[in-house]
Structure 1
Amino acid sequence: MALYVLRRLVSTIAVMAMVGIFIFLLLRLAPGDPAAIIAGDTATPEMIANIREKLGLNEPLPVQFAHWAHSILSGNLGISIFTGRPVLELISQRLEPTISLAILTMILSVTIGVTFGILAAWRAGGLVDRTLTALATLGFSVPVFVVGFFLIYFFAIRTRWLPVQGYQPIDHGFGPWLVQLILPTMTLALVYVALIARMTRASMLEVLSEDYMRTAAAKGVSSYSMLFHHALKNAGVPILTVIGLSFAYLISGVVITETVFNIPGVGRLVVDAINNRDYPVIQGVLILASGMYVLINLAVDLAYTLIDPRIRY
């Protein structure tokens, strides 16, 4: 088990190193001069040259990367070009909305998705299975922003049951915090409910067709015990994989939903930084998002050993 964990940690470090190199080169080699954007349309060449010198953009790429990597390893994500504030401070101020939205979405998606997948597998080929499969296909087919605008129109404009946009911090009260997140959570959850439900159904069907499951049914084991105590555990690895990947993607992929519902999260911060060519902010957000993605995948890999001990060896 210790060797398995060590291998996973070493591969995680290697992946993060490659991600860091890719992020650095992607932004540095992209067209456009951030110094010219900062200086403005009326800037002189001398002003642009001074800004490039101040930002260290005149140095060779290896030197720029060495300075950047040293800062990252020291816990310093840099200073925003436009606001002059530490990048880590800007990100920390935007983390709560994004994390809140991701956690609520995954709770709803896992609860509904796994339940729907089990029911579809239990009644494979029947009306329940066909209905849930159709709903899952619909969830994949409709773009997130379309779902968001539809929910806003029905629940916020027509019925006025829920607020249209915005966000309330949780320290302002659990009720206002939850109410503000209901619509964006429902918007995002539609896609992930469909994904988790389809994976759960496929994995459960494979397990339910095994000989030991038919033997258990012949011995009179109840349907509940077969589904939840035997089949679900043995089908857990692929289900856990898709849940982990979904959560990792949610952390870094809620830009559209945050824009539609005017949520001041990390996604909105990235959009603003890209428009301003604010290198430190873009790099800081990308490296943190990549790190969380890799760590979530590491946690999922380690959780496999709890479901299937054979993976340890």
Structure 2
Amino acid sequence: MAGYILRRLVSTIAVMVMVGIFVFLLLRLAPGDPAAMIAGRSATEEMIAGIREQLGLNDPMPVQFMHWVGDMLAGDFGTSILAGRPVLELLSQRLEPTLSLAILTMILAVTIGVSFGVLAAWRAGGFVDRILTGFSALGYSVPVFVIGFFLIYFFAVRTHWLPVQGYVPMSNGIALWFMHLILPTVTLGLGFIAFIARVTRASMLEVLSEDYMRTAVAKGASSYAMLFHHALKNAGVPILTVVGISFAYLIGGVVITETVFNLPGIGRLVVDAINNRDYPIIQSVLILTSGLYVLINLTVDLTYMLIDPRIRY
């Protein structure tokens, strides 16, 4: 078990090193000069050269890379080229809306997706199963922004039940905070609900066909005990995998939803940074997002050992 954990940690570090190299080279080799964008259209060549020297863009790439990695390890993610403020300060201001949306969406997706999947597997071929199949196809095929605009039109414009867009911090009241996140959460969560429900259904069907499940039925086990105590536990590995993958994709995929609902999250910050070639913000967000993605995968892999003891050996 200790050897397995050590191997996963080593592979995680190797992945993060490769991600860092890729992010650094991708931005440096892309067309465009951030110094020219900062200086403006009327700037002279001398002004642009001075800005490049100030930002360290004239140093060789290996030197720039080592400086960048050293600063990050020291907790310094740089200063925004355009805003002139520390990147971590800008990220901390945008973190709450993104995390709120991601966590609420994941709670909704796991709760409804797993429940629907278990129910559909229990009544395979029945009415609920057919409804789930149609809902899954709809969740996969309809783009997020289309769902968002439809929900805004019906629940905000026509009925005035919910706010159209914007974000209210949790410190201003839980009720207002929650009301402003209902539509974005449902918009972003429908596709993940469909994905998790389909995987749960397939995994549960496989487990329900096993001999030990028929033995449990023959011994008079209740439907609840059979589904949630026996079947769901043994079907947990693929479900846990898809939940981890969904949460990782969710963190990096909130840009469209934040744009549709005008949420001041990290996704909007990244879009603005890309448009303005703000290297420090782009690099920091990509590295932090990649690190979170790798950490989620590592956590899921280690959790497998709790669900399936065979993985420990």
Same fold (TM over 0.5): yes
**CA-based RMSD:** 0.8
For 1:203, the equivalent position in structure 2 comes to 203
- Structure 1 unmatched runs, 5+: none
Counterpart secondary structure, 1:100: helix
Q: Deviations over 1:118-176 (max 9, x none)?
A: 01101111111111111011001000000000000000000000000000110111111
How far apart, CA to CA, are the structure 2 residues paired with 1:187 and 1:25? 35
Tell me the secondary structure at the aligned position of residue 177 of structure 2.
helix
State the alpha-carbon separation in 1 of the partners of residues 175 and 71 from structure 2: 40
Residue 177 (structure 2) pairs with residue 149 (structure 1): no
Q: Secondary structure at the match of 1:81?
A: coil
CA displacement 1:77-136 (0-9 Å, x = unmatched): 000001110001100110000000000001110010000000110111111111111101
Distance in structure 1 (CA, Å) of the matches to 2:69 and 2:78? 11
The alpha-carbon deviation at position 7 of structure 1 amounts to 1.4
The equivalences for 1:169-208 within 5 A come to 169-208=169-208
Give CA deviations for 1:42-89 in whole Å, capped at 9, x if unaligned.
111111111111111111111110110111111110000011100011
Which amino acid is 1:264 matched to?
P
SS at match of 2:23: helix
**Correspondence 1:223 to 2:234:** no
Aligned partner of 1:66 in structure 2 is 66
Amino acid at match of 1:188: L
Which string of whole-angstrom CA distances, capped at 9 and with x for unpartnered residues, describes residues 210-269 of structure 1?
111122222222221111010100000010011111111111210000000000000000
Take 2:75 and 2:296, find their aligned partners in 1: how far apart are those partners?
20
Most deviating of 6-15 and 177-186: 6-15
Unaligned runs of 5+ in 2: none
Alignment of 1:18-57 (within 5 A): 18-57=18-57
Question: How far apart, in 2, do the equivalents of 1:114 and 1:226 lie?
Answer: 15
Amino acid at match of 2:288: L
Q: Does the alignment pair 1:81 with 2:77?
A: no
Separation in structure 2 between the aligned mates of residue 191 and residue 233 of structure 1, nearest angstrom: 24
The normalised TM-score by structure 2 is 0.99
Q: CA deviation at 1:36?
A: 1.1
CA distance in 2: counterparts of 1:97 and 1:128, whole angstroms = 35
Counterpart-to-counterpart distance in 2, 1:214 and 1:275: 59
SS in 1 for 2:128: helix
Could you tell me which residue of structure 1 aligns to residue 126 of structure 2? 126
Q: Matched residue of 2:124: which SS?
A: coil
CA-CA distance at 1:312 after TM superposition = 1.2
1:55 partner letter: L
Question: Secondary structure, in 3 states, of the residue corresponding to 1:245?
Answer: helix
Is the deviation greater in 143-152 or in 56-65? 56-65
Task: Note the C-alpha offset of 1:294.
Answer: 0.9
Distance in 1 between residues matched to 2:149 and 2:245, nearest whole Å? 26
Aligned to 2:168: 168
| Stretch moving more, 186-195 or 215-224 | 215-224
Looking at structure 2, the residues matched to 76 and 174 of structure 1 have their Cα atoms a distance apart, in angstroms, of 33
Aligned residue type for 2:2: A
Separation in 2 of the partners of 1:168 and 1:2? 45
The amino acid that maps onto 1:305 is M
Moved over 3 A (4+): none
Residues of 1 paired with 2:25 and 2:165: CA distance? 36
- Identical counterparts, % of pairs: 78
Instruction: Name the SS for the 1:111 alignment partner.
Output: helix
How far apart are the structure 1 equivalents of 2:279 and 2:31?
13
Equivalence for 1:232: 232
CA distance in 2, matches of 1:27, 1:209: 51
Match in the other structure for 1:291? 291
Code of the aligned partner of 1:280: P
Q: For residue 282 of structure 2, what is the aligned residue in structure 1?
A: 282
